[in-house]
Chain A
Amino acid sequence: MSETRRQSYSQMEKEKTFEKEFLPHIDSMYNFAYRLTFDEDDAKDLVQDTYLKAYRFIESFEKGTNAKAWLFRILKNSFINDFRKKSKQPSKVDYQEVETFYNSEDVDQSITTDLRIETVQDMIGDEISNALNSLDVDFRTVIILCDLEGFKYDEMAKILDIPIGTVRSRLHRARNLLKERLSDYAKKMGYKN
């Protein structure tokens, strides 16, 4: 994942690794890219760019390690460096977030939700998708990595270059924000019971 030992690959191994280890993740990559950019052409460019970099730097990929996490990390960095700069959407996440959040007094307030399980289960999909898309990109990202892609916290920490404690607190905040959006939506739609 890092600039660790360079691997040596023959040309044939490179191509094989690319085909067998990298390409199978294209669905996840495209889905992630689209949820970052909200634009099909940008998502395509971002995925393509990620694969080109992955191939160019294939010697930094340690055989036997998690290819999907490695690819996601490249994609996320490409997005930050190439796409986010172009877009007018700076990150709004407060990077002061810290693990001590869990020790704060207002923790209990932050967990109250008036969402009911039945309400959530009644939702047909668009609501959850729109609520997810409405979150700031950094919050959206942790939810995608964790809930959609099933990455573990330590993998997320590597992909995002943040400590595990920050992964946890960001995920917690992201989920609360998502619940707020869903709850607002439920009220509007008269789901409430």
Chain B
Amino acid sequence: MGLSSTDSFDESPSKNAQDVRPDHQECLKILNLVLDEEAGPKEQEYFKKHIENCMPYYEIYNVDKAIKDLIRQKCYDKEVPSDLVDQIKSKVFQGAEE
């Protein structure tokens, strides 16, 4: 379930990887950027490393992603009334078109 990434993050996988010092606030800023594909390569890398070592963030990111995907799949649910395009056209072109 962890990201078996090719990135070697071989700093001893201890709880106290002070040199990496995952900063939750920094990560929070980046989380939405990553989710929305607005993050630069550096931010993506930073985030990826963080969630490899941080279960809460791994969970949050995946929940957020699942919700985002679900919105895209399920919330596009209104059919355009069949006569709307014609109504618009006839108003806009004021009957210039057949």
Whether a CB of chain A sits under 8 angstroms from the CB of B11 is: no
The reply to whether A128 and B67 contact each other, CB–CB distance below 8 Å, is yes
Q: Are A51 and B28 in contact (CB under 8 A)?
A: no
Number of A-B residue pairs having CB atoms within 8 Å of each other in the complex: 109
Give the interface segment out of B2-10, B12-20, B42-50, B83-91: B83-91
Q: A187 to chain B: which residues have CB within 8 Å?
A: none
For the residues of A in contact with B, the DSSP-based class is helix
Q: Which residues of A contact B36 (CB under 8 A)?
A: 146, 152-153, 171
A26-B85, A102-B29, A171-B32 in contact; A125/B74 too (CB < 8 A)? yes
Interface residues of B, count at CB 8 A: 34
Q: Are A121 and B66 in contact (CB under 8 A)?
A: yes
The reply to whether the CB of B60 lies closer than 8 angstroms to some CB of chain A is yes
A117 lies within 8 A of B92 (CB): no
Q: Is the CB of A48 within 8 A of B91?
A: yes
| Number of chain A interface residues as a range | 35 or more
Given contacts A120-B66, A128-B75, A129-B77, 20 further A-B contacts (CB under 8 A): A31-B77, A35-B75, A35-B78, A40-B81, A43-B78, A44-B81, A48-B87, A48-B91, A108-B24, A113-B63, A116-B59, A117-B63, A120-B70, A125-B77, A128-B67, A132-B71, A146-B36, A147-B68, A148-B72, A179-B67
Q: Can you report 14 A-B residue pairs in the complex whose CB atoms are below 8 A from each other?
A: A30-B80, A30-B81, A35-B75, A40-B81, A47-B84, A102-B29, A113-B60, A117-B66, A120-B67, A128-B74, A148-B75, A148-B76, A168-B32, A172-B32
